Amino acid sequence: MRTKVFGKTASSHETIQLYEIENKHGMVLSVINYGARIIGLKVPSRHGELIDVVCGFKSLELYEKDDGYFGAIVGRCACRVSPPSVMIDGNRYNLTENSGDVHFHGGFNGFDKAVWDVSAIEGETGVYGVRLHHISPAGTEGYPGELVTIVEYRLTDQDEVVVKIKATCGEATIVNIPQHSYFNLGGPKEPTIYDHVVSITADSYLAMGKNLVPTGEIVSVKDTVFDLRKPQILGEAIHSTPDDGYDNYWCLTPSPLHVPTLAVNLYHPKTGVNMEVLTTQPGVLMYTGNYLNKSVIGKYGEVLDRHSAMCLETLGYLNAINEPTFPCVIIRPGEPYHHTTIWRFSIK
């Protein structure tokens, strides 16, 4: 593992480190401990070159200004909580309202802005991963109880990135933590994700209402623009949606014995890069970069405009604390939150 200083935070002047892990095929995973962010992922292409398929920025200053959660761990509770005044075991808690009148992606100072402690994960052949640790004090952004979160990123010689997220609490609280990397399997030279081919192994999705908050209805994907069970060219699918883009949650079949199962397949015909997403989570949110704009400049100088990259966030049902029919996102002492997601890369 290679380590170097990435910068110092503007407010607290804490040193942020960059960690680079390489496997035997030359695949390189780059992580910083500001927001537990993945800032790069170089994978082999059909043409024999390494392509960076994760979008990001070239300086810590840009990550500190980032409002798109590039590469970050998002928490405590991702996406929109509406109303933000929630009941947990008979007690009411008022989460911060940081996006209009909703609580979004953990509040003003969520996990994406935290400086995480880091340790190496070692195997027989050396370091192959990093373990990041963060303590969120009781009352942070309105959440009850102290929450201890551990994130592991492992790079295997099977060209997999294994993301393990575990959290334990001091008292009952809500937890829904995804990894929020933006992908373009064409690399920084590919201006859009339109040529990607996507499939999602889900028979249903969450209907969305005002402000992208679920209505509580779980709807069949059949005969809708959300039916991606067969591979679809992403550009054609995007332009067939009412809002010219996806920011939607698909409900997956529960994972047997908590074993990661296939949720998404993403393929780029030009580079030959294929990405499978396997997870123990009950669903996946696909966001096609609808709110990106020309002011967002990536680490290679590329313009990260609308639909230039996409997120595949594996997580629990959205706004579940306010929808009693959704799978519960409350954890309690002695009942840890733990999930695994695998990004498996290959060449077609």
Q: What is the mean pLDDT of residues 329-343?
A: 97
- A 10 A CB-CB count for 283 gives 23
Domains of the chain: 2-347 (2.70.98.10)
Q: Which residue is catalytic, options 180, 196, 268, 307?
A: 180
* CA 143 – CA 165 distance, rounded (Å): 19
247 belongs to an annotated ligand binding site:
yes
Residue 198 · residue 190 · CB < 8 Å: no
pLDDT at position 257: 81
Half-sphere exposure of 77 (CA within 13 A, CB side): 30
Residue 75's alpha-carbon distances to 11, 68, 103, 285, in angstroms, are 21, 14, 11, 15
101, pLDDT greater than 90: yes
Among the residues of 174-272, which ranges form H helices? 234-239
For 318-330, what is each residue's pLDDT tens digit? Answer: 999 999 999 999 9
Is the predicted pLDDT of residue 258 greater than 90, yes or no?
A: no
Give residues with Cβ within 8 angstroms of 297, minimum separation 6: 57, 303, 304
Residue 205 to residue 283: CA distance in whole angstroms:
9
Contacts (Cβ under 8 Å, ≥6 apart) of 68? 182, 291, 292, 296
Rounded CA-CA distance 142/130 in Å is: 29
Q: How confident is the model over 255-279, as a mean pLDDT?
A: 95
Stretch 215-229: mean pLDDT: 98
Residue 328 CB contacts under 8 Å (≥ 6 apart), including other chains? 320
For 84, phi and psi rounded to 5 degrees?
A: -80, -5
pLDDT at 210: 87
Each residue's pLDDT tens digit, 103-159: 999 999 999 999 999 999 998 778 899 999 999 999 999 999 999 999 999 999 999
pLDDT of 50 > 90? The answer is yes
R_g (Cα) of the chain, nearest Å: 19
Is 307 annotated as belonging to a binding site? no
244 is in an annotated binding site: no
Q: Answer yes or no: 134 catalytic.
A: no
Q: Which residue in 160, 313, 323, 339 is the catalytic one?
A: 313
180 is in an annotated binding site: yes
179, 262, 168, 107 alpha-carbon torsion, rounded to 10°: 30
Longest pairwise C-alpha distance within the chain? 58
Q: Is 160 a catalytic residue?
A: no
pLDDT value for 348: 93
pLDDT of residue 125: 78
> At residue 81, does pLDDT exceed 90?
yes
pLDDT at 255: 80
Residues of the chain with pLDDT > 90, as a percent, come to: 96
Whether the CB-CB separation of 329 and 176 falls below 8 Å is answered with: yes
- Residue appearing with tokens 């309690």: 332
